[in-house]
Amino acid sequence: MSNENNELYPDYYKEWDDALNKGLNPNYYDADELCEIIDIYLSEDEIRKGKITIDYTLKLYPDNEEVIYEILLLLNDYELWNDLLVLAEKYKDLSLVWADGHKLTALLHLGMEEDAFHFFRKLKSKYAENNEDLSIIYQAMAEALYDVDLFEASIDVISEAISLVGEEVDLLWLILQNYQAINDKEGVLTIAEKIQKKNPLNAETWSRLGNAYKEIDETEKSIEAFEFAQSLGNNDSNDLMSLIYAYEKNDNYNKALEKIEEYLVMHPESYVVNLMGANDCAQIQNWERALTYINRAIFLIPEMENLYMYQSDFLLKLGEYKKAIAALEEGIKRTKDSLGLLSKQIELIRKQYPD
């Protein structure tokens, strides 16, 4: 583990880790602190220490369902399938639906498909009288099948779940995800329509729909969804970037530039988005505005040689050949012109404008 990372972690983690390294008895830690320590170890690939901490935590809090839930979730998140299976099996008598779900997930990820389907059949009977728990089991099975690329099987499982518990929105998202994976555009569009009717004024829903439409190249629908999400208060930078790309894809550079300005209000330090703005302005031959963006990009990253080539080109488009040469000369001073491209460009301009 790097010292830099270690500095970012809480003191109780450092104390625990020090005690572990020295073989000392640890001080008292509450459940949340121990779960955080486990998370840190697993994130740093310190699996042995993570397992020691898990064992200690479960001995200290043997009947704490929240702790069991959190540890199972961490083992799932870090794909420690064998450990997940062992632990889920250990708590099978507690009748915890999420523990059963984790066991299903572990079995499928370990390639034990026959065992997984056999266990799934038992769980369907076990939770038949409780629609909420039944739905959780179906979702766990469908998600695990999706994770191991058994998309058609996942669709079959979700379809069966819908026939039993109805068109719950989580089930609809799962089936949409599988339709995306098999490139079934019609299936995605059908399910997306059902989802938007369930949550017509939810910004997150429209954001997710925008990304779903983007994945199947439904650019117009993607734009509509992202715009609507934004009107409902969504300010996600990734979605805004997706809108920029979508407008560019549709050759709607003026709208792309509108969104670029919105993005730069939030992230004025982005030289990449300034470059995108310069490129979009060039597409509509708005050279003065293109120059504004490229000047910002140069301010942000003055050592990039290509930026001075763009700056010079935009000045030439405006008929400012002397300023174009001056821009290149400034670029040489700042970048040392390692490839000699700026110097060559100056020679070409001087040949073209000999006076």
Check: CB of residue 170 under 8 Å from CB of residue 135. Answer: yes
Confidence (pLDDT) at 5: 57
Cα(233)–Cα(123) distance, integer angstroms: 41
Cα(320)–Cα(325) distance, integer angstroms: 9
Where residue 6 falls among pLDDT bands split at 50, 70, 90?
Answer: low
Write out pLDDT tens, residues 214-239. Answer: 999 999 999 999 999 999 999 999 99
Confidence (pLDDT) at 76: 96
For residues 251-269, give the mean pLDDT. 97
**Type and span of the H or E element at 313:** helix 305-317
Listed range (140-144, 273-277, 338-342) with the worst mean pLDDT: 338-342
Could you tell me how far CA 227 lies from the centroid of its own chain? 20
Please say if the pLDDT value at position 7 is more than 90.
Answer: no
Measured from the Cβ of residue 45, the count of other Cβ atoms closer than 10 Å reads 10
Listed range (21-25, 40-44, 168-172, 228-232) with the worst mean pLDDT: 21-25
Where residue 201 falls among pLDDT bands split at 50, 70, 90?
Answer: very high
Write out pLDDT tens, residues 68-85. Answer: 999 999 999 999 999 999
Cα(149)–Cα(233) distance, integer angstroms: 35
What single-letter amino acid sits at 7?
A: E
Question: Token pair of 228, please?
Answer: 């609507």
Question: Token pair of 290, please?
Answer: 């293109």
Q: Which residue has the higher pLDDT, 108 or 24?
A: 108
